[in-house]
Chain A
Amino acid sequence: MENLPVLTKKDRMAIPRQKMPEQAPEIRKRNFNEVNLGFDEKTAVLEANRCLDCPRPTCIDGCPVRIKIPDFIRMIVQKDFLGAAEKIKEDNLLPSICGRVCPQEEQCEKTCVLRGKFQAVSIGRLERFVADYERKYGNFTPPHFLPSNGKKIAIVGSGPSGLACASDLIQWGYDVTIFEALHEFGGVLVYGIPEFRLPKEILRYEINNLKKIGVKFIKNFIVGKTLTIDELMNEEGFDAVYLCVGAGLPWFMNIPGESLMGVYSANEFLTRVNLMKAYQFPEADTPIHIGKNAVVIGGGNTAMDAVRTAMRLGAETATIVYRRSEVEMPARIEEIHHAKEEGIVFRMLTNPVEFVSDENGWVKKVRSVRMELGEPDASGRRRPIPIPGSEFDIDADLVVVAIGNGSNPLISQTTPDLKCNKWGNILVNDTSGRTSKRGVFAGGDIVSGGATVILAMGEGRNAAKSIDEFIKTGDWDETDRLSQPTP
């Protein structure tokens, strides 16, 4: 390592937070290439120098998988980029994904001591930089392995939770098989998150690495249908099962006109475009309706993904309709900011009451009411209340409903001894991920009802620990208190 000038705390604090280079809004709003271009080496080192290397780092507390943040940032300062990547991988095997899709401003960067006046260190952008650097210049070095223990673990779902769980268990000597219902691996990372936020090439690279270290991947396999959990355990010899099947049935608003042509759930709209590549139609066979005036209902990251996708498909106007105000929006600030730059219209405190049809059964207007905020509700956010007589119409020939998901019924239908709450979310013991069924664990959106990629990964790693403990001890506390998550 080269000798570097020693910077004082004051020097470090004088460096401004480095901006992420991006495609210009006017250009990117019409293509599917990644919006963020990533730091170059010089910028990464400069940003890394902003880290005060606190003796008692608080950033780690904000990370669901407790990445050794100051350690890897110090290695960036020393220009040991491959070493930094290795350091992150001690805790997170998928940094190029997390560096892109984690809400760092709510996690590690929220607990950075520099937050506020000096602005937090861009931990996420640095994570992304070292992961991309490693993919470009590094040789894939398999992590350290424990000898094979001959125990078979089935992971149901190849989304972030399943991948994280598999990466731990394979290193601990387990024989790990991931079952996927769709024809591609990655779960929400492949069908939900668009190319412009997470290029599929990166996902394929990460999955290939897991294949290289021995994780078996089986696609087109629906646990609960192709084989049940009992069959996996009793006939196929799996010693434990981790259920991370993700979100399920999309919610609709139960207002008139929801079945009109041109009205999609966010799941359908995004799956058509991302998984089925409808943006390449007719080269790809799956079609999508391209709206002139697109309206997306909802305020989360999925809504942002959908509205920006509609814009990229060629919409003249693309609008977010949300019943609360912008401060209550669950979407990441960066996504809201990017969307605004791309010309997305935000209609806050607006709630659809009806989708109005044209003479041929296509949606032509979203009838809405204006809302005002009242007292805080159960979520702690101020409750939106309709203003009487405030109805108005928004022109729309494409509507995407992005208000969340229920649970997938396929597993609970065929596994009667698996306890679920009234929404169908699988009940687990909070700390261990144990379900009501011996040897079966669960995590991710099927438990939480809908959260972030990194939380799902955290639960996957948590489940890996519990599975390891269960296999080693055979202990299964039948009196476990199972929690009732509220979606």
Chain B
Amino acid sequence: MNKILSAEFIAPDIKRFVIEAPLIARKRKPGQFVIVRVRENGERIPLTIVDGSPETGFITLMVQGIGKTTKTMNQLKSGDFVQDVVGPLGKPTHIEKFGFVVCVCGGVGTAEVLPIAKALKEAGNRVITIIGARTKELVVAEFEMRTVCDEVIVTTDDGTYGKKGFVTEALSAILNTDRKPDFVLAVGPLPMMKAIAEMTRPYKIHTEVSLNSIMIDGTGMCGGCRANIGGKTQFVCVDGPEFDAHLVDFDQIAQRQKQFVAQERISLDRFVHENHTCKLDSYINQQEKS
């Protein structure tokens, strides 16, 4: 059991948790993840470690409430316990001085990119980060990102904040200049990562994406997270989670992500029925923290 030291909504349905996990806090490196089981009889889900400090023994996780498990987790408050937390898992991001780096992130992926962007900057890179969100209130970690990057570009689909449009348009503007990036990292929804991969492919710019697959153990035992990378079967949990974007078969991953859609629907309906959640919920919780 791991104690939650703080839990607050930073955007609708997106909650930031600070959790006691001293050994993981000491070991984790940017790009790694933990497997979390919220409750007894709960499922095991992978969550990227957003931050962590060996001094305090805390790690930070960011949870977007989409299905039953993430919504159950987002009901937890500071002082509550998470049933199981194990890690750090996966290979850390490869950090080196590439020169000019562009990080492209969508939604909650922004929080996951934050420690990586910081490490890339500290390694001597010039770092531009593009943050994309559907609408203004879903833009997360922008302020923190500005403190570690040379430049931050925000795009929103509806134009309520930053530039109106998609991250791809912002990246396109950079690719059309003379100084092409030496390295591009994309973390976010699959269609976004696929689009970024296709954009950098003609320029042969080394591009990495962080995959988020269905997992159980997270240690290479079950093979549920397998993905086709350059024609070879790789396991996201032990060979990844970051892969060369130009080798990833995104369509296959997208399809495999859908294998439990019917069951996820059943679980979510039961959750909604049991909890009578309404759209005010995240708003009410936000009020609590202040």
Which A residues are within 8 Å of any B CB, using their own CB?
A: 181-183, 191, 219-222, 225-227, 246-250, 252, 254, 258-259, 261-262, 264-265, 267-268, 271-272, 275-277, 280-287, 289, 361, 408-410
Across the A-B interface, give the 5 residue pairs with the lowest CB-CB distance, nearest first: A287-B263, A268-B222, A220-B86, A265-B223, A261-B259
Q: Check A226/B27 contact, CB under 8 A, given A268-B223, A282-B263.
A: yes
**Are A249 and B220 in contact (CB-based, < 8 A)?**
yes
Interface CB pairs A-B, < 8 A, 28: A183-B44, A183-B83, A191-B217, A221-B86, A222-B87, A225-B89, A226-B24, A226-B87, A246-B221, A248-B220, A249-B238, A252-B226, A261-B256, A261-B258, A261-B259, A262-B259, A265-B222, A268-B223, A271-B216, A271-B222, A282-B266, A286-B44, A287-B260, A289-B259, A361-B258, A408-B219, A410-B220, A410-B238
Minimum CB distance partner of B37 in chain A = A183
- B residues less than 8 Å from A219 (CB atoms): 84
Q: How far apart sit A219 and B228, CA to CA, in the bound complex (Å)?
A: 32
Q: Check A182/B89 contact, CB under 8 A, given A226-B27, A250-B223, A267-B222.
A: no
Query: Among the listed B86, B224, B252, which residue makes an inter-chain contact with A268, where contact means beta carbons less than 8 Å apart?
Result: B224
Q: Other CB < 8 Å A-B pairs besides A250-B221, A283-B41, A361-B255, 14 of them? A: A182-B217, A220-B86, A226-B24, A248-B220, A250-B223, A261-B259, A265-B223, A271-B222, A272-B216, A275-B216, A277-B41, A282-B263, A282-B266, A289-B260
- B residues less than 8 Å from A284 (CB atoms): 41
- B residues less than 8 Å from A265 (CB atoms): 222-224
**Are A271 and B221 in contact (CB-based, < 8 A)?**
yes
Distance in Å from the Cβ of B31 to the closest Cβ of chain A? 13
Q: How far apart sit A181 and B35, CA to CA, in the bound complex (Å)?
A: 11
Interface SS of chain B: mixed
B69 within 8 A of A: yes
- B residues less than 8 Å from A287 (CB atoms): 43, 260, 263-264, 267
Q: How far apart sit A219 and B85, CA to CA, in the bound complex (Å)?
A: 10
B247 within 8 A of A: no
CB-CB contacts below 8 Å: B198-249 with A: 216-217, 219-224, 226-228, 233, 235, 238
The 0/1 profile, CB within 8 Å of A marked 1, for residues 44-73 of chain B is 100000000000000000000000110000
Distance in Å from the Cβ of A192 to the closest Cβ of chain B? 10
- A residues less than 8 Å from B191 (CB atoms): none
Query: Among the listed B24, B216, B238, B255, which residue makes an inter-chain contact with A261, where contact means beta carbons less than 8 Å apart?
Result: B255
Q: How far apart sit A285 and B228, CA to CA, in the bound complex (Å)?
A: 27
Q: How far apart sit A275 and B221, CA to CA, in the bound complex (Å)?
A: 13
Q: How far apart sit A220 and B217, CA to CA, in the bound complex (Å)?
A: 10
- A residues less than 8 Å from B94 (CB atoms): none
Distance in Å from the Cβ of A167 to the closest Cβ of chain B? 24
Query: Among the listed B223, B228, B263, B270, which residue makes an inter-chain contact with A249, where contact means beta carbons less than 8 Å apart?
Result: B223
- B residues less than 8 Å from A191 (CB atoms): 217, 221
Query: Among the listed B23, B221, B267, which residue makes an inter-chain contact with A247, where contact means beta carbons less than 8 Å apart?
Result: B221
- B residues less than 8 Å from A276 (CB atoms): 43-44, 216
Minimum CB distance partner of A259 in chain B = B252
**Are A258 and B222 in contact (CB-based, < 8 A)?**
no
Which B residues are within 8 Å of any A CB, using their own CB?
A: 23-24, 27, 37, 41-44, 68-69, 83-89, 216-217, 219-224, 226-228, 233, 235, 238, 252, 255-256, 258-260, 263-264, 266-267, 270
- A residues less than 8 Å from B223 (CB atoms): 249-250, 252, 264-265, 267-268
Q: How far apart sit A426 and B223, CA to CA, in the bound complex (Å)?
A: 21
Interface SS of chain A: loop
Q: Check A259/B27 contact, CB under 8 A, given A249-B235, A282-B266.
A: no
**Are B86 and A183 in contact (CB-based, < 8 A)?**
yes
**Are B233 and A259 in contact (CB-based, < 8 A)?**
yes
Residue among B24, B87, B88, B223 facing the most chain A CB atoms (10 A cut-off): B223
**Are A259 and B219 in contact (CB-based, < 8 A)?**
no
- A residues less than 8 Å from B256 (CB atoms): 259, 261
**Are A285 and B27 in contact (CB-based, < 8 A)?**
no
- B residues less than 8 Å from A247 (CB atoms): 221
Minimum CB distance partner of A248 in chain B = B220
**Are A225 and B88 in contact (CB-based, < 8 A)?**
yes
Minimum CB distance partner of A267 in chain B = B222
Q: Check A181/B222 contact, CB under 8 A, given A258-B233, A285-B41, A285-B68.
A: no
**Are A409 and B238 in contact (CB-based, < 8 A)?**
yes
Minimum CB distance partner of B257 in chain A = A261
Distance in Å from the Cβ of A339 to the closest Cβ of chain B? 23
Residue among B24, B221, B224 facing the most chain A CB atoms (10 A cut-off): B221
- B residues less than 8 Å from A225 (CB atoms): 27, 87-89
**Are B220 and A268 in contact (CB-based, < 8 A)?**
no
Distance in Å from the Cβ of B164 to the closest Cβ of chain A? 35
- A residues less than 8 Å from B258 (CB atoms): 261, 361
- A residues less than 8 Å from B227 (CB atoms): 259
Q: How far apart sit A196 and B37, CA to CA, in the bound complex (Å)?
A: 25
Q: How far apart sit A267 and B217, CA to CA, in the bound complex (Å)?
A: 10
- A residues less than 8 Å from B219 (CB atoms): 181, 222, 248, 408, 410
Distance in Å from the Cβ of B228 to the closest Cβ of chain A? 6
Q: How far apart sit A252 and B255, CA to CA, in the bound complex (Å)?
A: 19
- B residues less than 8 Å from A262 (CB atoms): 259
**Are A250 and B222 in contact (CB-based, < 8 A)?**
yes
Minimum CB distance partner of B89 in chain A = A225
Minimum CB distance partner of A289 in chain B = B259
**Are A220 and B84 in contact (CB-based, < 8 A)?**
yes
Distance in Å from the Cβ of A365 to the closest Cβ of chain B? 18
- B residues less than 8 Å from A252 (CB atoms): 223, 226, 233
**Are B23 and A227 in contact (CB-based, < 8 A)?**
yes
Q: Check A285/B24 contact, CB under 8 A, given A183-B37, A249-B223, A271-B221.
A: no
Residue among A249, A361, A410 facing the most chain B CB atoms (10 A cut-off): A249
Q: How far apart sit A250 and B270, CA to CA, in the bound complex (Å)?
A: 34
Minimum CB distance partner of A409 in chain B = B238
Q: How far apart sit A478 and B85, CA to CA, in the bound complex (Å)?
A: 39
Minimum CB distance partner of B23 in chain A = A226
Q: How far apart sit A284 and B83, CA to CA, in the bound complex (Å)?
A: 14
Minimum CB distance partner of A226 in chain B = B23
- B residues less than 8 Å from A275 (CB atoms): 216
- B residues less than 8 Å from A259 (CB atoms): 226-228, 233, 252, 256
- B residues less than 8 Å from A226 (CB atoms): 23-24, 27, 86-88
Q: How far apart sit A272 and B263, CA to CA, in the bound complex (Å)?
A: 14
Q: How far apart sit A219 and B216, CA to CA, in the bound complex (Å)?
A: 15
